[in-house]
Amino acid sequence: MKKLIIALALGAVSASVTTLAAAADVKRGEELVKKYNCASCHGADFNKPIDPSYPKLAGQHADYIAHALNAYKRGGDQTNGRSNPIMAGFAKPLSNQDMIDIGAYLASLPSQLVVSK
């Protein structure tokens, strides 16, 4: 019975995440990316960051972007957080919907990402 309850709870969470992702607003994501000047570090087209250690964001999976922003918001001192004070500062004021919208916008951009074999 306990396993059934856990499975139903996980299913409900999964369904709500899917619903949120489906409700992503690409246009609003673009506005947020411009507002926070993400291009200043990640490059004008989000394919050529100013530093090779910074990630290319164009074409990245939307859910990955949202998850990464959420991890920066949590910070490095918590489970599954990311430790980067600059990104933490940008992520702190973002709502979950903001992160989803930013992810949707960046995922919609043409990408130069390649998969190695």
What is the value of pTM for the model shown? 0.76
Q: Is 16 exposed, middle or buried (0-12, 13-18, 19+ CB in 10 A)?
A: exposed
**51-77 pLDDT, tens digit each:** 999 999 999 999 999 999 999 999 877
Q: Are 71 and 80 in contact (CB under 8 A)?
A: yes
Q: Where are the domains of the chain?
A: 25-108
**79-101 pLDDT, tens digit each:** 677 888 899 999 999 999 999 99
E runs forming strands in 52-100: none
Q: Which amino acid is at 79?
A: T
Task: List the CATH code of the domain at 25-108.
Answer: 1.10.760.10
